[in-house]
Amino acid sequence: MLKFIQTVLCLALTTAPFVSSRADPITVVVISTNLGKMTVALDANRAPITVANFLAYVDEEAYDGTIFHRVIDDFMIQGGGYRVDLSETPEKGPITNEAENGLSNAVGTIAMARSNLIDSATRQFFINLVDNSRLDHKPNSCTRENEQRALELAERGLVKPSRCASYGYAVFGSVQSGLDVVERIAKSKTKQQGEFFDVPTEPVIILSIRREG
């Protein structure tokens, strides 16, 4: 699946959305796993807060020894927050959700995982295995004001169905090479382990994430 679109993605990286007239260059990182390596271009122009947060973890070598703990073929692979024994790793504070930056959750893109709250992403990320446009920010997405109002009503015991869509998940880069490795991870056999679902039976370990060059 992914191997057939690698050429298309490489061409896309020479056009929108990763080419910018701004001075800031695109940073490339190498994600090394026990199943191989992939290189990922990070778009700091379109997702400055997200990229800065991700690189802060990278530069502290905080992703080393974590795993892809959630693997769903034909959807995404998620990791960066748990060790092999599924113990949680230390987090910095949550960051502003940049899902409105115009980047889509297309096949091969990397985005921030989060909880239901709009601005709740910390360190976990996922790589899209297919075009997951339903994860994108939309014109009818809930606003932070909508979210605050809902929380206030919930505190009063008043729960009303949401009439707006999810705020979306912030894309901040794209896989440049190693899509075959992404596909290999996607085909991992999975199991339920405690409260975790879709955990690879054989751990997929992130050995390191480093800036290229």
pLDDT in tens, 113-137: 999 999 999 999 999 999 999 999 9
What is the domain range of residue 25? 2-211
- pLDDT, residue 3, reads 40
pLDDT at res. 59: 98
Residue 80 tokens read as 């960066």
User: Residue 17: is its pLDDT beyond 80?
Assistant: no
Decide if pLDDT at 14 tops 80. no
**Per-residue pLDDT band at 186 (split at 50, 70, 90):** very high
Q: What pLDDT is stored for residue 5 in this prediction?
A: 38
DSSP code at position 88: B
Is 64 a residue whose pLDDT tops 80? yes
205-211 and 36-42 beta bridge pairing: unpaired
Rounded CA separation 98/48 (Å): 9
- Burial level of 98, CB count in 10 A (0-12/13-18/19+)? buried
The pLDDT value given to residue 161: 82
CATH assignment at residue 151? 2.40.100.10
- What's the confidence (pLDDT) of residue 26? 85
Output DSSP code: residue 202: S
- pLDDT(19) > 70: no
pLDDT tier at 162, thresholds 50, 70, 90? confident
Q: What is the pLDDT of residue 68?
A: 98
pTM of the model: 0.87
User: Could you give the 3-state DSSP secondary structure of residue 24?
Assistant: coil
**What residues are paired with 88 via a beta bridge?**
82
Average pLDDT of 89-109? 98
Q: Tally the domains of the chain.
A: 1
Which pLDDT score is estimated for 22? 45
| Contact in structure between 71 and 188 (CB atoms under 8 Å) | yes
Q: What is the mean pLDDT of residues 52-70?
A: 98
User: How far apart are alpha carbons 73 and 87 in whole angstroms?
Assistant: 24
